Chains A and B, each alone.
Chain A
Amino acid sequence: MSELAELPKNSTATAASTPAPRPGRPRGDGPALWQGLLPVITGVAGFVLAILLLRGTGWAQAGAVLAAFVLVYIGLANLGRHRFGPSFDLTMWLCLIWVVVLVGAAILAPLLPLGEHEDIAATIGNPVMARPDPLSVYPLGTNNLGLDLLARLIYGARASLVVSVGAVLIGMVIGGAIGIAAGYFRKATDTVAGILSNSLLAVPPLILLIALATVLEPSLRNIAFALSLLALPSMIRMARASTLSFSQREFVTAGRAMGASNLRLMARELLPNVLLPLASYAMVIVSVLIVAEASLSFLGLGIQAPDPSWGNMIAEGEGGAFEQHPHIVLVPGIVLFLTVYSFNVLGEKARKRFDSRQAKL
Chain B
Amino acid sequence: MAVLVIADHDNSALSDATAKTVTAAAKFGGDVDVLVAGKGAGDVAASAATISGVRKVVHVEGDAYEHHLAEAMEALIVPMMDGYDALFAPATTMGKNVTPRIAAKLDVMQLSDITGIEGTDTFERPIYAGNAIMTVTSSDAKKVVTVRGTAFDAAPAGGSASVETVDPAAGPFKSEFVSEEMVESDRPDLTAAKRVVSGGRALGSAEEFERIMNPLADKLGAAVGASRAAVDAGYAPNDYQVGQTGKIVAPELYVAVGISGAIQHLAGMKDSKIIVAINKDEEAPIFQVADYGLVADLFNAVPELTDAL
A and B are partners in one complex rather than unrelated chains = no
Chain B residues packing against A (C-beta within 8 Å): none
